[in-house]
Homo-oligomer: A and B are copies of this chain.
Amino acid sequence: MSMDRRSGCPINLSLEVFGDRWSLIILRDMIFGGRRHFRELLNGSMEGIASNILADRLKRLMELGMLTKADDPSHKQKAIYSLTEMAITLVPILAHLGAWGRVWLPVSDELSIRAELLEKGGQPMWDKFMDELRHEHLGMPLDTMSGPSVRATLQAAYEAVVASKALAASPAA
């Protein structure tokens, strides 16, 4: 995880930021899962990241300017991690990545519904989502509070799929 400045190519440099197995997973959980604390990221990740790897990647993402860390006023040893503008502008890339994966890879229904909605919503939905993230993480004012947040919308859709699958599995209930 050293890998510094192999070339000035934009794609290569981007790869040097999140060309590993975990960095983008952490950012995904912060962006779509709303996680802000170490333990939330550690226990919340579906893929089961190890605590030493998580600590290393958080440190690295901070050094790269993708995250900042602040004390949680409510708990003397709790740290709150925030996304920077640099990380927030990854939303369109994550949307495209999700859309591509949905087409070509063996995604599960309940986990791909978010990607599907995000793809259908297109740039307007991404803009709204980024605006909400700027509010949450950077303290910027919310331009227009129109309806439920994008994250809540995605989460509701996810839970609806989970519920319908549970129903299909035990129709008697």
Contacts and interface: CB of A to CB of B under 8 A. Distances in A.
A24 B99 CA distance: 17
A17 B20 CA distance: 11
A52 interface: no
A143 interface: no
Interface of A: 3, 5-21, 24-25, 28, 46-48, 65, 86, 89-90, 92-94, 96-108, 110-112, 115
The prevalent SS among residues of A at the interface is: helix
A11 B98 contact: yes
Contact of A8 (B98, B104, B108): B108
Contacts of A104: 65, 86, 89
Contact of A11 (B9, B16, B25, B106): B25
Nearest to A101: B10
Number of copies: 2
B105 A14 contact: yes
A25 B15 contact: yes
A13 B89 contact: no
B96 A12 contact: no
Interface centre among A8, A16, A65, A99 (most CB of B within 10 A): A8
A151 to B, nearest CB: 15
A39 B83 CA distance: 41
